Amino acid sequence: MSTLPINADLHCHSVVSDGTLTPEELAARAQANGVTLWALTDHDEIGGQRRAAAAARAAGIGYLSGVEISVTFASETVHIVGLGFDAEDPRMAQGLFDTRGGRGQRAHEIAAQLAAVGIPGAYEGALKYVGNPELISRTHFARYLVEAGFCKDTAEVFRKYLADGKPGFVPHRWASLRDAVAWITQAGGMAVIAHPGRYKLTANEEYALFTEFKAHGGQGVEVVTGSHTPAEYATYAGMAREFGLAASRGSDFHSPDESHTDLGQLPPLPDGLTPVWTLLADRIQH
Ligand code: AMP
Ligand code: MN
Ligand code: MN
Ligand code: MN
Rounded to whole angstroms, the Cα distance separating 113 from 121 reads 11
What average pLDDT does the structure give for the chain?
Answer: 97
Q: pTM of the entire structure?
A: 0.98
Domain that holds residue 108: 103-162
User: Are 234 and 129 in the same domain?
Assistant: no
Q: Residue 50: which CATH number? A: 3.20.20.140
Judged by phi (left if over 0) then psi (alpha if -120 to 50, else beta), residue 271 lies in: beta
Residue finishing a domain among 162, 187, 209? 162
Residue 215 CB neighbour total at 10 angstroms? 11
Judge whether residue 58 has pLDDT over 60: yes
Instruction: Please tell me whether residues 190 and 279 are part of one structural domain.
Output: yes
Both 181 and 275 in one domain: the answer is: yes
Q: Is 99 in the pocket of ligand 1 (CB under 6 A)?
A: no
Residue 170 lies in a domain: no
The rounded Å distance from CA 2 to ligand 3 centre is 32
Is 146 a member of any domain? yes
Residue 81 lies in a domain: yes
Residue 5: which pLDDT band, with cuts at 50, 70 and 90? Answer: confident
Strand pairing report for 62-63 and 66-73: unpaired
Judge if 189 and 70 occupy the same domain. Answer: yes
Query: How many Å apart are CA 111 and CA 270, to the nearest integer?
Result: 43
To test the pocket of ligand 1, the residue of 70, 158, 160 to mutate (highest count of ligand atoms within 8 Å of its CB) is 158
**231-258 mean pLDDT:** 98
Examine the domain organization and report whether 246 and 189 are in the same domain.
Answer: yes
Residues 247 and 112 in one domain: no
Q: Which atom of ligand 1 is nearest to the CA of 106?
A: 3
The count of structural domains within the chain is 2
What is the percentage of the chain residues whose pLDDT exceeds 70?
A: 99
For 12-25, the pLDDT digits (tens) are 999 999 999 999 99
Query: Does residue 37 sit in the same domain as residue 51?
Result: yes
CA neighbor of 146 nearest in space, from 167, 162, 134, 165: 162
Q: What was the pLDDT predicted at 228?
A: 98
Whether the predicted pLDDT of 159 surpasses 80 = yes
The CB density around residue 185, as the number of other CB atoms within 10 Å, is 17
DSSP string, 81-107: EEES--TT-HHHHHHHHHHHTTHHHHH
Question: Considering every ligand atom, which ligand is closest to the CA of 168?
Answer: 1
Q: What is the per-residue pLDDT across 94-118, written as a single tens digit (0 to 9) for each?
A: 999 999 999 999 999 999 999 999 9
Indicate whether 150 and 180 sit together in one domain.
no
53: closest CA among 33, 70, 37? 37
| Residue 3, in any domain of the structure | no
154 and 191 together in one domain: no
In a domain, 129, yes or no: yes
pLDDT > 90: what percent of the chain? Answer: 98
- Say if residue 108 is in the same domain as residue 91: no
Using alpha carbons only, what angle is made at residue 228 by residues 139 and 114, rounded to the nearest 5 degrees? 25
Give the domain CATH number at 127.
1.10.150.650
Mean of pLDDT values over 183-201: 98
